[in-house]
Structure 1
Amino acid sequence: MRTDSIALRLAGLFALVAVSVFVIIGGALYRQVDKSLDVLPNAELEARYSVLESAISRFGDPEHWGRLTNKLNLLSEEDKRIHFWVVSGNPTYEYGAPGPDVRRLAQGPLGIHEWQREDGTALKVLVSTLPGREQRPSLRFLIGIDVANVRQTHHDLAMALIACAALGVILASLLGYWVARIGLRPLRRVSRQAQQLAPPRLSGRLRPSHLPPELEQLVEAFNAALERVEGAYQRLESFNADVAHELRSPLTNLIGQTQVALTRGRSAEHYFEVLQSNLEDLERLRSIVNDMLFLARADQGSRLNNLESSSLAAEVAASLDYLDFILEDAGIQVTVEGDAQVQVDRNQLRRALINLLHNAAQHSEAGQRVRVAITVDRGMARVSVSNPGPPIHGEYLPLLFERFFRVDTARHNEGGNHGLGLAIVKAIATMHGGNVFARSEGGANTFGLDLPLTAIRD
């Protein structure tokens, strides 16, 4: 069992709670009993003093004093814990052979005191004074009681409380571990279900039935994550197939044309045509590879640092100049409305705008008009490129900016398009701290990007 398991952690928390409870309750109980035990010797001292005080105060001649000393002797023999001393200026009226330490105690303040004798015996001593009577001078009367039994009781009580606390903590830990193991059974069941899920079998889901509410939330979140992973896995499979398809066509052309050219002798003009055709396919391969490397850097969270203030209308105009011949051949007209000043990397922004405009031109008929609208809303500048066209189903709109995604699954590579243009637009918008959007309504399809008016840097 791993030491960082939830069951052991919960058992440790149960133990910590038990320690806290036992310390609080045990401490309060010990203090209460300690006060009660301290009261007992004090009460016994005061009771004995109240009995003897009147007898000592009544008599003041040597004859009666002798009777009193006999009574004190009998009391001392009956209870070895009790000690009596009488200290006075006349040795005749003294009792208990008081030594220097007793005399110092007798000369101190009246009341009950704790006294540690030289032999290590712990006593509680009641010191009182009695006025003189007849021949007897004033006295200091001391009654001492051995508190060793009380202290031993204190020690035994403390040991008993510690032992009970230790046993209680151990039992609380074991019971807590047992309870935690029982409580975590649903989690182990969910874990076994999760272990059975692995690519390519990602369509399964965890069953949230008969689970505590906390685990139901976890299972629902896990199932939602599985749906996202399954979608990403399916897109990855499709992406791999698309990459293979996009690379296979130019490679097949290169290999086929080269093999044909090498079958027999050809003229220099024919070899020139073959090399020129191969160069076009190689350029297409380089374009695909460069675009994929650019998207890979964007996926790693790369940001653009070469930002400068620029007019979006001016950047759109520069992009239209680049596409001038393509638009003229296609018979497409473009109108631009609005403007905004933003902090952008001009080269990357133009690349995104060219892709948007080229995408609109590809899906427009001759004589149609492409509309570019630049608006500002809530700190964002929006560039919308709209072209007339058949409606696009709503479920496809969020996927149009994915790599190699086409609504038309037949993969007609018209115009040398390899399905990365809109994905690059999304990457450039993300690198600027913006986003992309697509909508299809009113007989027009609109693609665009939002850019922050203020530059966002790492």
Structure 2
Amino acid sequence: MIRRLTLTARLTFLYTLVSAVVLLGLGVLVAWSTHLHFIDLDRDYLLDKVQLIEKIVDETPEPAELAAKLDESLNSHQGLFISITRGDEQLFGKGGITFPAELAARSAADQPIDWTDGERQLRGMSTELSTAQMPGGLSSPGQSMRLTLALDTQHHTHFMQMLRQQLAVYVLLATLLSGLLGWWAARSGLAPLRTMRERALKVTAHKLDERMPIDAVPVEMAELARSLNTMLERLQQDFSKLMEFSSDIAHELRTPISNLLTQTQVSLSQHRDPDTYRDILASNAEEFQRLARMVSDMLFLAKTDHGIQLPNREDVALEEEAKSLLDFYDAVAEDKQLRLRVDGAGTVVGDRLMIRRAISNLLSNALRHAHPGTDVALTVEPQMNGTSLCVTNTGDPIDAADLPRLFDRFYRVDKARAHPSSDGAGLGLAITKAIMLAHGGSASVTSSEGTTRFCLQFPGSHGPRSLRVASSQIQTSASAE
């Protein structure tokens, strides 16, 4: 049942329970200590009367005179009962009560015992009187004298009952007061949680900028608030990227679909000769091919978000892959009057097809933006913590504000979102970054004074991080580039 209570109710219940146990223990301790104190007082009182009676007995020669002296001395002691016996003969009796038989078994006065005689609550003791110094009238050969006395403790019993009642009332009221104070303390202490809850309720898909208070909460909750703020920041960033990605997908798909629809409607508006239809179908095929590449690339990137695993791991000579790609792009470079070269050498462990695709993306990007008559250089350089491959070209400088976003999906520096010499969708650099992450490396870019440099940093001999994707998907995406 306690698991279904609120945290404030739980803390209040536990605090009240602890307070009740502590107060109850204190009440029992006070009552028991008072009871023992009364026992000590009664014992001292009875021992004092034993000494007084022994003195009177020692000074009295005859039994009749003894009774008179005892009556005179003890007449003012209310609630005191005395019995002096010699053998089976009672020499003196006061009070008319029945003493328990167990008192007669005691040879000396020690701890008193309690018993009930009718409505009386009695506490008494018994002891043998020494007859060595007794007057001749009281002593009797072969017989001992026994003094038994008792004290009425009814006033003590009444006091203890009143004390227990007062302690019970005090414990009850103090427990209730402790519960109220505990509820107030718990509610005040958990106020920061309610503030965090109210902030959390304000977080929606359209308002992700709410943050939990850190300075205004206790130290124990500050780490929780900091963790929640970190989570909200990640959610805000991911949600923003998702919205941008959805908008970019819609924009990128709209153009080829619109082209296909327009060409088809125009071709159906009137009868045309077979060559015209053939040209229209060829144009549509190009648009379909562009859509296929875009969908393949988006599928690849979507799977990288959940992690990819390298289909094959082998030693890859970066300079060999770069030289084979230069042969492939040689015609494009010649057409743009660009010079290609490869410098350095290095070997990394990874998937050859994926590495080749990453280098191809950087090389095609460099060829697209390089100024005619300049060099496009691929540099491979072993380093302390791995191997780097950099592609450098000379072209229009890239603004520093655009550099951090170059590897984002569908992002182009060209605000018109289209390049006259390219039919790409703006996913090449994003795929390159995903491939490098799959290999446990990184991708970076710098641009200064017209020189743009993209670098791939491969790790050393350590294996790439384990992620998931099928080899066929990578091969399909690579062949579609």
TM over 0.5: yes
1:111 maps to what in 2?
110
Equivalent pair of 1:340/1:374 in contact (CA under 8 Å): no
Relative to structure 2, which stretch is displaced further, 288-297 or 136-145? 136-145
Alignment counterpart, residue 46 of structure 1, candidates 44, 47, 50: 44
In 1, Cα distance between the equivalents of 2:452 and 2:168? 85
In 1, Cα distance between the equivalents of 2:432 and 2:81? 103
In 2, Cα distance between the equivalents of 1:382 and 1:235? 29
- Cα distance change of structure 1 residues 308 and 223 upon mapping to structure 2, 3 Å threshold: closer
Give the drift of 1:246: 1.8
Alignment counterpart, residue 401 of structure 1, candidates 391, 404, 407: 407
- Cα distance change of structure 1 residues 62 and 85 upon mapping to structure 2, 3 Å threshold: closer
Equivalent pair of 1:335/1:370 in contact (CA under 8 Å): yes
In 2, Cα distance between the equivalents of 1:207 and 1:117? 71
2:454 maps to what in 1?
447
Equivalent pair of 1:316/1:353 in contact (CA under 8 Å): no
Equivalent pair of 1:56/1:68 in contact (CA under 8 Å): no
After TM superposition, the structure 1 = structure 2 runs for residues 304-315 of structure 1, keeping only pairs within 5 Å, are 304=309, 306=311, 308-311=313-316, 314-315=317-318
SS of residue paired to 1:395: coil
Q: Which amino acid in the other structure matches residue 345 of structure 1?
A: D
1:333 maps to what in 2?
340
Equivalent pair of 1:41/1:145 in contact (CA under 8 Å): no
- Cα distance change of structure 1 residues 21 and 207 upon mapping to structure 2, 3 Å threshold: closer
- Cα distance change of structure 1 residues 205 and 192 upon mapping to structure 2, 3 Å threshold: closer
In structure 1, runs of 5+ residues without a counterpart are: none
* Deviation by residue 1:368-394 (Cα, 9 ceiling, x = unmatched): 12233344344x544433323333222
2:146 maps to what in 1?
139
1:165 maps to what in 2?
174
After TM superposition, the structure 1 = structure 2 runs for residues 56-455 of structure 1, keeping only pairs within 5 Å, are 56-59=54-57, 61-67=62-68, 70=71, 74=75, 78-79=78-79, 82-84=80-82, 89-93=87-91, 95=93, 97-104=98-105, 106=106, 110-115=109-114, 124-132=123-131, 133-134=134-135, 135-136=138-139, 137-139=144-146, 141-146=148-153, 148-149=157-158, 151-153=160-162, 155-173=164-182, 175-176=184-185, 179=188, 187=195, 191=198, 195=202, 212=216, 235-299=241-305, 301-304=306-309, 306=311, 308-311=313-316, 314-315=317-318, 317-318=320-321, 320-322=323-325, 324-330=327-333, 331-342=338-349, 344-366=350-372, 367-378=374-385, 380-413=386-419, 414-441=421-448, 443-453=450-460, 454-455=462-463
Q: Which amino acid in the other structure matches residue 419 of structure 1?
A: G
Give the drift of 1:205: 7.0
Give the drift of 1:421: 0.8
* Deviation by residue 1:213-267 (Cα, 9 ceiling, x = unmatched): 7699999998998787666665545433432232122222322333344344445
* Deviation by residue 1:373-430 (Cα, 9 ceiling, x = unmatched): 344344x544433323333222211111111111111122333211001111222233
TM-score (norm 2): 0.73
In 2, Cα distance between the equivalents of 1:192 and 1:424? 37
- Cα distance change of structure 1 residues 84 and 213 upon mapping to structure 2, 3 Å threshold: same
Equivalent pair of 1:403/1:419 in contact (CA under 8 Å): yes
Q: Which amino acid in the other structure matches residue 327 of structure 2?
A: D
TM-score (norm 1): 0.77
2:53 maps to what in 1?
55
* Deviation by residue 1:293-339 (Cα, 9 ceiling, x = unmatched): 2212222x32315452423xx14533552463324421341324242
Q: Which amino acid in the other structure matches residue 444 of structure 2?
A: F
Equivalent pair of 1:361/1:370 in contact (CA under 8 Å): no
In 2, Cα distance between the equivalents of 1:85 and 1:452? 107
What is the RMSD of the two structures over their aligned residues, measured on CA atoms? Answer: 4.3
In 2, Cα distance between the equivalents of 1:140 and 1:28? 40
Q: Which amino acid in the other structure matches residue 429 of structure 2?
A: L
Report the number of matched residues: 438
SS of residue paired to 1:416: coil
Q: Which amino acid in the other structure matches residue 41 of structure 1?
A: I
Equivalent pair of 2:12/2:179 in contact (CA under 8 Å): no
